[in-house]
Structure 1
C-alpha cells in the first residue's frame, strides 16, 4: 500500500520529479563515461609504450640513464649469450649513442638509436632500413619520426652531416640520408631520436656486438653484468601521471554525485514543507510517523530507481555510438603522452556496479534526511500547516 501511494505521489510531483530523474540519469552516464574514457586512455597509452619501447622489460647496462646523454658512450656491453640465443620475436637489441646533426648549418643534438632490424618484438616501422645494405657506405640511411623531422626541418631524401664519437673518443662524421619519415605514437622514440640499423651504429662507433639494453618479451632470470628493469619501473613517470588523472576523475565523480544529491534533497525539503497538512491528515488518520517517513523516503527513492532505467535507455545507445567513432586525441601530439590515435571506452563492469550502487545509496540517503524530522511533528500543528517553518 505504501509503495503504491509513494509512486502515485511521486508522479503527481510532475515536471520537478522528472527533472530529478533526468539529472540523476545524466550524472550516472557522465560518471561511467568519464571512468571508462580514462580506462581506455590509460590502456592505450600503456599498450603503445609496451609495443614500441618497453615490451616486457629491459636488461640494461647498470647505471644507464636516458636523461644523462654524456654517460651513454661509457655504458655499453656485449650481448650476453643467454639473451643472444633468444629468437627475434622475444628480444630486441638496442644501442644508444650521442650524436649531432647539422641540418641547414645548425647544430642539432640527437640520440642515435640502433635497433636490430630482424626483431619483431617491438612494433617499429623499420622496413626501409631492412632493405638497406648491412655494410656501411659513404651515406648512412636513417629514419626519423614526424615530430623529429618537423623540428629538424628534414624530409625524405634529405642528406645531412652526422657527427659522433667512437668508443676510443675519436670524433668522426659522415653524411646520413633520411630514407623515411614515419608517424611514431610514442614521443619517447620520436623527439630527438635518429633511428639506424644496429649493425651500422656498431660499425661506426667501433662497438661490435655491444648493446645498451635488450628489450625482452618476458624476463629470463638474472644475467651477470646486466640489471633487469620491469615494465612498472620503465613506465613509472607515465603511471604516476595516470594515477593523478584518476584522482582528478574521482573528484569530478564526487562533484557530479553531489549535484544529484542536492537536487533530490531540495525536492524533498520543498515537498515536506508544502505538504504539511497532508502529513497531519495521515497522522490523524492513524498512520505512524515512522510510516510517513517511509512514505516520503520511498517517493524520493523513486528518483534514483527511475534514473537507472533512464540511464540505461539513454546511455546504452550513446556508448554504442561512441565506440563506433572514438575520441580523437591528435591534439596530444604536442605533449608527452604516448597516444596519438583515437581512444575508445574501456567499460569495467565492477566500476559501473559500484558507481550505480553509490549513486543510488546517496540519493536514497538524501531523500530520507529531510523527512526524518516528521517523526517529531505535532499532528495538530501539521494540520494547520505550521509544523515546519
Structure 2
C-alpha cells in the first residue's frame, strides 16, 4: 500500500510531458539569461552610450520577463509572446540600435544579435512548423542585413548565423528526446500503478472474503444447522446488519472499491451505528487514498453525525454517501479530496437555535478542522439534517 501511495504521489507531481516542458523552459531561460548578461556588460562598458541602447536593453529584459514568466506560470510558452520576442528582440532591436542608437561597430551590435539565438531556441519548440521556419528566416535575414550594415567580416557573420540555427536544431532535438522519455515514463508509471491497484483490489477482496466468512457465512451455517430460532429478535437484527453489509458490497463496482484505509474507517463507523439499532444506507464511490489521520477524522465525525441521527432524528434510518473529489484544474498536480455526507429525514431543527447535545461543534466541526477539513450542517424545521464533511477544506 505504501508503494501504491508513492506511485500516486509521483503521478500527482506531474506527467512526463509536464516535467519535460518545465525542464525546457528552465534551460532556455538560462540560455536567455546568459545573453542578457552579455548585453548588460556591453552597454555598461559605454558609460556615455546613447540612451537608445539602454532602452533597447530594458525592452529585451521586459519581453524576457513576460515570455518566461508566463511560461513558468502556465507550464508552457504563449505563442503570442514568442512572436513578440522574435519581432521586437530578435528583429527590430538590432536595427533600432543602428538607426537611433549610433551603433556602427560589430562588437556594439553583437549582444543584440546574440538574443536572436535564444529566441530561435524557443521558436523551434513553441511554434508550429511553418511558423517556426518563418521566424527562423526572419532572424537569419536580420543577422545578414544587420552585420552587413556594420561591416562585419564573413567569419563573424557565418559564426553567428551558425549559432542561431544550431540553437534551434539542438533545442528541437532535446525537446524530441525529452518528450519521448516523458511518454515512456508515463507508460511505465501507468503500468506500475495498474499492477499495484490490482494487488490492492485483490487484498481488498480477501478482506471481504474473511469478513463474509466470519459474519454472513457463520450466520447461515448456524441457521442451516437448526441450532437457533430464526425468528428470535437478536437473530433478525444480526441478519439485517449483515444484509446491509452485503448490499454495500454489491453496489461497489470494480472501479468503486473504497480505499482500504478510508473505506474501512467509514465502514467501522457505520457498523458501530448499526450495532445501536440505527439502519444505515451507505454508498461509496471512488474514494481516494488519504492520510490515516484524515481517514480517522472522517470516521469519527461520521460516527458522531450518525449518533445524532439515532438520538435526535426519530427516524431510525440514516443515509451515508462517500465520494472522491476530482483534481482541481486550477492547481495542477494537486490531488483531489473526499466528501462524506450524512443525511436523515427527521424533523430537523432551527440552525439559529441548535438542539443541545448535538455535538456538532466539538465532535464534528473541530475534528475535521484539525486535519484541514471542513464540516457544514444544512437543516431547517421539518427538512431533516444534512451534514457534509469535506477534505481538504
| TM-score, normalised by the number of residues in structure 1 | 0.30
Q: If each structure's helix is expressed as a fraction of its own residues, which one has the higher value?
A: 2
Query: Bigger relative contact order, structure 1 or 2, given CA contacts below 8 A and separation 6+?
Result: 1
State the TM-score, normalized to the length of structure 2: 0.30
